[in-house]
Structure 1
Amino acid sequence: MKTSADLVRDYLSAVEREASALPADRRQELLADLAEHIEVTRTERPDAATGEILAKLGDPRTIAATALSEAENGAAGAPARGRVGVPARRGKVHPLVPLLMVTLSVPFIMIFPALPGPLIGVLSRITGAILLCTSVHWTAVQKTTGVLLAVVLPSVVFSTANLSGGGPAAGTPALLANLAVLALIAGTAAWLWRVRRV
């Protein structure tokens, strides 16, 4: 007997097979949208059978045919579409904005250590994290990884250093720690930029 995970995997494989004529990036976007929709529906309706959820999504052949038709219309100048019958979600904010806000918060704090520098740096990091989490350019896993590595971990490191030392430390050790955290944040931002959905 097939498990729920098997049913979902088989369904997505069928959509991928039927949509093989789509460009790879558009096919992956379609599969990611479907997987996200299935996961959200399963969370919202835990009592619903997986087969029922998949049946409501529609036949894989129909979904693929609609996506192919929409891709052809999009190439001809029609507006791009996301899930079947649903306009594609495009963020109002360019994907570079949250990455720059999170990354530049550390140099801002290093250059302007007196108030309001740290306050502006922290607000920039929080705003960047919110924009990252609400963006349509990354999957939920990519967003979570980005926020953990670029926002939460550096905040924990800075808080621990400040609390254990009785305040912000000065000198070479603090500079090296700040540069290491900056390298982590910049590396995470570069990875997020590379894996973003266009």
Structure 2
Amino acid sequence: MKTSADPVRDYLCAVEREASALPADRRRELLADLSEHIEVTRAERPHVTIGEVLAELGDPRTIAATALAEAGDGVAGPPARSGAGAPVRRGKVHPLVPLLMLTVPFLVAAVLPYSAVTGFLSTLFRVIGAVLLCTSVHWTPAQKTTGVVLAAVLPTLAIGIWKLLVAAPASDTAANLANLATFVLLAGTTAWLWRIRRA
């Protein structure tokens, strides 16, 4: 069996084959997006092998199936040739939804800090936001993990540590500074996730 000298080209060719039912312009756009993502990932993380980058992107059949499902009624024929283990995702959530759910509830809880209901709902919505982020098709597994750690885990740990260490009520200035630092972390993470999302 002959092995190829260019795994990226082979990967993109496999995606192109699997997505042959897509209109030509949408197929070209998909391949261009994948190619750009591969280049950016290799530039930002030079220690990662090309095999790991391609594994993060996922199986070509899954990518093609998702693109075909997103194309909807505009594509003739079956929605995907996904095979086992490559489910077609339908009714996908807009990428802005998990990002807003990770950020906005924190702001509400910061404005109304002494309401138990607000604190509970803020936590609930942020957990739902983290789940939606993890199940989204718009980010790679590594990006999802980083996003959940920065936007959900670290702020929750910081709030817990703050409540444990600050036995007496903190001054308004200290609490406001802590809230501001947490919001900057959330906003920065959200902006980063929005910028790197896949179409």
Same fold (TM over 0.5): yes
- Give yes or no for contact 2:103–2:187 (8 Å, CA) kept in 1: yes
Q: Does 1:112 align with 2:112?
A: yes
Shift of 1:190: 1.3
Alignment-derived partner of residue 15 in structure 1: 11
- The 3-state SS of whatever aligns with 2:74 is coil
Alignment-derived partner of residue 102 in structure 2: 102
Relative distance call for 1:95 and 1:82 in structure 2 (3 A) is farther
Alignment-derived partner of residue 178 in structure 1: 179
Shift of 1:108: 1.1
Relative distance call for 1:167 and 1:28 in structure 2 (3 A) is farther
Relative distance call for 1:8 and 1:107 in structure 2 (3 A) is farther
- Give yes or no for contact 1:129–1:147 (8 Å, CA) kept in 2: yes
Alignment-derived partner of residue 147 in structure 2: 146
- Give yes or no for contact 2:72–2:79 (8 Å, CA) kept in 1: no
Alignment-derived partner of residue 25 in structure 1: 30
Q: How many residues align?
A: 161
Q: Whole-Å Cα distance in 2 between the matches of residues 188 and 163 of structure 1?
A: 25
Shift of 1:94: 1.7
- The 3-state SS of whatever aligns with 1:23 is helix
* Post-superposition CA distance 1:3-44 (Å, at most 9, x none): xxxx7984343233685x842434545986895239xxxxxx
User: RMSD of aligned C-alpha atoms?
Assistant: 3.7
Shift of 1:194: 1.7
* Post-superposition CA distance 1:135-171 (Å, at most 9, x none): 1111101111100110111111111111111266341
**Identity of counterpart residues, as a percentage?**
42
Alignment-derived partner of residue 42 in structure 2: none
Alignment-derived partner of residue 63 in structure 1: none
Q: Whole-Å Cα distance in 2 between the matches of residues 165 and 34 of structure 1?
A: 41
Relative distance call for 1:9 and 1:137 in structure 2 (3 A) is farther
- The 3-state SS of whatever aligns with 1:130 is helix
Shift of 1:82: 6.2
* Post-superposition CA distance 1:98-126 (Å, at most 9, x none): 11111012111111112111111111111
Q: Does 1:158 align with 2:197?
A: no
**Which runs of 5 or more residues in structure 1 are unaligned?**
1-6, 39-56, 58-66
Alignment-derived partner of residue 59 in structure 2: 37
* Post-superposition CA distance 1:59-117 (Å, at most 9, x none): xxxxxxxx6xx98xx59921695675667535532211111111012111111112111
